[in-house]
Amino acid sequence: MAGELDRLEAVLGYRFSDRTLLERALTHPSHAYEATPGAQADNQRLEFLGDAVLGLLASEHLIRCHPEWREGRLSAFKNYLVSAPHLARIARRMGLGEHLRLGRGEELSGGRDKAGLLADALEAVLAAIYLDGGLEAARAFAERHLFEERPASEPGSDWINYKGALQETARELNLPAPRYAVVAEQGPPHARRFTVEVRLGADWSARGEGASKKAAGQQAARTMLMRLLSERP
C-alpha cells in the first residue's frame, strides 16, 4: 500500500504528513461497509468538504484571472470547472481509479472508471490536501491539475472545445451522440451569420450563432453543455 501511495503522491505533486487522510479519500463507501459494516471510514465526508473547497478555489481563480468577465460568464466557466465530467477526465489522466479502495460489487461493475465515482474521489483528495496542508496547498494542487487550461479573456475564446466536451459528457450520461445541423444563414457574403442546432436524441436541443459554421456549432455545444450540467443530476 505504501508503494502505491508513494506513486500517487508523485502524480498529485503533494506529500501528505498524515497519510490516513489520503487513504480515506480513496475509500469508497462500498469498501468501508464491507470491511466494517456500519462504519463511516469512507470518503463521503471528505467529498462534501472538497466540493466546497473546489467551488471557492474555482471562483477565486476566475475572478483573479479575468476581472473583466461578468457574472454570467464566470458562472458558466465555474460550472464547467466543478462539473463531474471535467473532474472525471482529470482523475482518469492521473490514474486515480487504480488507487481506489472499492467493495467487491463496485469493483465488478467497473467502478474504477465511473465518472461520478472518480469525480467524488478527486474532490475527496482535494479536501484531504486541504486538511493536511491548508488552503495554500489545496490552491496549488487545484491550479496545477484542475485549472491548468487557461481561458483567453476574449468572449469568443476557444479555451474549451465545447463540441468535444459535449460529446464526452453525453457519453458519460448515457445520452445519444450530438448531431449538428445548419438551420439558418443570414447576411451578405462578407458578413454571414450562421445558426447551428445541436440535438441529443429527441429530448435535448440547443442553438448557437456565429460568423462561421464552426463558431456557431461551438456556441450551440456550449449552450447544450451548460444545460446538461445544470439540469442533469
Q: What is the CA radius of gyration of the chain?
A: 20
131 and 167 inside one domain: no
Residues of the chain with pLDDT > 70, as a percent, come to: 88
Residues 77-125: tens digit of each pLDDT: 888 888 888 898 899 999 999 999 988 887 888 878 888 899 999 999 9
Q: Is 98 a catalytic residue?
A: no
End-of-domain residue from the set 146, 177, 193: 146
Distant-in-sequence contacts of 91-100, Cβ < 8 A, 24+ apart: 91/118, 91/119, 91/121, 91/122, 92/118, 94/11, 94/12, 94/122, 94/145, 95/11, 96/8, 96/121, 96/122, 96/125, 99/4, 99/5, 99/8, 99/26, 100/26, 100/27, 100/28
Cβ atoms of residues 229 and 83 within 8 Å: yes
For the chain, the distance separating the N- and C-terminal CA atoms, rounded to the nearest angstrom, is 34
Q: What is the pLDDT of residue 231?
A: 63
In a domain, 154, yes or no: no
Same domain? For 82 and 189 the reply is no
pLDDT at 64: 92
Whether residue 190 has pLDDT greater than 90:
no
Confidence band (pLDDT; 50, 70, 90) for 35? low
Residues 124 and 97 in one domain: yes
Residue 75 maps to a domain: yes
- Which of 47, 78, 80 shows the shortest CA–CA distance to 228? 80
Catalytic residue, from 42, 47, 120, 123: name it: 123
151 assigned to some structural domain: no
45 and 125 in a single domain? The answer is yes
Please give the residue range of the domain that contains residue 203: 162-231
Please count the structural domains in the chain.
Answer: 2
> Could you give the C-alpha distances from 92 to 75, 89, 126, in angstroms and in order?
25, 5, 15
pLDDT value for 24: 94
Per the prediction, the chain carries an average pLDDT of 85
Measured CA to CA, the distance from residue 93 to residue 67 in angstroms comes to: 30
| Annotation marks residue 123 as catalytic | yes
The pLDDT, as a whole number, for residue 171 is 81
- Name the residue with higher pLDDT: 174 or 59: 59
Contact 43, 24 (CB under 8 A): yes
Mark which of 146, 178, 205 sits at the end of a domain: 146
If asked whether residues 115 and 177 sit together in one domain, one would say no
**What is the mean pLDDT of the segment spanning 136-146?**
95
CATH number, position 187: 3.30.160.20
Q: Considering the entire predicted model, what is its pTM?
A: 0.67
Write down the pLDDT at residue 100: 92
Residue 62 lies in a domain: yes
Q: Which of 9, 23, 34, 51 is catalytic?
A: 51
Residues 197 and 95 both lie in one domain: no
